[in-house]
Amino acid sequence: MTASNANPLNLSGRTTVVKWQGMPENSSATFQILGCNYELPETFGLKLLEGRQFTPQIADTVNTEVIVTEEAVKLMGFKEPIGSMFSIGDANCVIIGVVNDFHTESLRNEKLPVVFYMHPILNCSSLFVKYEQGATKQSFEIIQSVYNKLEPAFTMKYSFQDEVFDTMYKTRNYGF
């Protein structure tokens, strides 16, 4: 299980306020930024290529530890990305890990570089649960039971990732 402030397989938010040493003057680059809990890369099956994953402990550092995709490393031109610094707006970031590239939108769109940062779980808008194939009903019943204990006054809103994909690729018939 993990949490994030958006669905990593359907990210629409983008930013161009990323800066790094050696960035050509008067240029900009588009990144996708995802706030998440430390288990997100592993839960979504992202492969750690260099460095380390997030740890559950809060890092005692003035820098924001981030994990980036291969495309982010390539775009910034870092030969040794682990420990490299860059900024997102006013936040200084240090790369602790690099994961494989993945699509954050429809396959019709280009892959964009992604930056993952730790985000407090209480500020996350979505929880993602990975369960064994064939155990959907049992998993859902357990999740529903826990949710009802925590939030008895509210109905649980849920979706499945295959529904997200279906929505992304659904052909609309407008009767033409």
Write down the pLDDT at residue 174. Answer: 47
Write down the pLDDT at residue 115. Answer: 94
Please, are residues 114 and 15 in contact by the beta-carbon 8 Å criterion? no
Residues 143 and 61 in one domain: no
Whether 66 is in a domain gets the answer yes
Residues 82 and 105 in one domain: yes
Which is nearest to 37 in space by CA: 23, 60, 14, 54?
54
Residues 45 and 81 in one domain: yes
In this structure, the number of other CB atoms found within 10 A of the CB of residue 76 comes to 21
Residues 65 and 132 in one domain: no
SS3 of residue 71 by DSSP: helix
User: 30: which residues sit within 8 A by CB, 6+ positions away?
Assistant: 14, 15, 16, 112, 113
State the 10-residue block means of pLDDT for the chain, 176 residues long.
82 86 89 88 92 76 82 96 94 94 80 88 77 86 88 84 70 50
Whether 108 is in a domain gets the answer yes
